[in-house]
A = this chain, B = another copy of it.
Amino acid sequence: MTTTAEKLKAASPSKRELIVAAARKLFLETGFGSTSMDAIASEAGVSKRTVYSHFQNKEQLFAAIMGDMCRIISGSNPDEPIPDEKPELVLKVIGLHILHSVLQHEALDVFRVVLAENATFPELGKAFWKAGPEVMKDYLAGYLSELDQRGVLSVPDPDMAAFQFMGMIKWPYHIRLLFGAGDLPTEAELEAALDQAVSVFVNGTKPNR
């Protein structure tokens, strides 16, 4: 038996992908309100009727596209167990991973657009949050909690400490790139800032002073 969902899926993947690519590009560039279905159809090289044969309406198209983006972000999260190395090294590796993910051009656009439309698409905001920052917080908090139990560092509130470490390394570059108040830092700058942050964090949470 052929369900409606199967029919839609079997349809024409090629055109559908053109539409998705065009919509993603335009939504990320100009947001929900300023992107018209005309522009999407034109960018995809298909007629507007074709767009509407694949997606119910503009809201649904936007939600589908941005939901995908959140899932992509989610896929870039680490899931390996954390190696038993010096905390300085582990935190630097995790920190570099975070910085590389979050300072990408596309990630900045997703951040901007999801945030802008947070009032009209609250599910997207939550999806973004759960796929990105929260996963990373849990990952880091687990590690910090373990260090605390082993007496390596003193971290009474691992969740807050994880957030604070993330804020410390992210925010300085993230906010400047978001507002166009600075260029993409070089790898050397990034590492220098990260070293400074890791040093402060580790020395600041040493159990015995």
| Residues of chain A whose beta carbon lies under 8 Å from any beta carbon of chain B | 29-34, 112-116, 118-120, 122, 125-126, 128-129, 133-134, 156-157, 160-161, 163-172, 175-176, 178-181, 192-193, 196-197, 199-206, 209
Which residues from chain B contact A205 at a C-beta distance below 8 Å?
Answer: 200, 203-204
Interface hub of A156, A172, A180, A205 (most chain B Cβ within 10 A) = A172
CB pair A179–B30 under 8 Å, yes or no, is no
Across the two chains, which residue of chain B brings its CB closest to A206? B203
Which residues from chain B contact A116 at a C-beta distance below 8 Å?
Answer: 31, 112-113, 115-116
Across the two chains, which residue of chain B brings its CB closest to A159? B172
**A180 CB contact (under 8 Å) in B125, B176, B196:** B125
Task: Determine the distance from Cα of A125 to Cα of B129 in the docked complex, in whole angstroms.
Answer: 24
Which residues from chain B contact A175 at a C-beta distance below 8 Å?
Answer: 133, 167
CB pair B209–A179 under 8 Å, yes or no, is no
**A178 CB contact (under 8 Å) in B115, B120, B163, B196:** B115
Question: Can you identify 22 A-B contacts, CB atoms within 8 angstroms?
Answer: A31-B116, A33-B34, A34-B120, A112-B116, A115-B116, A115-B179, A118-B178, A118-B180, A122-B180, A126-B180, A128-B179, A129-B179, A134-B181, A160-B193, A166-B171, A167-B168, A167-B171, A171-B171, A200-B200, A200-B204, A200-B205, A203-B203
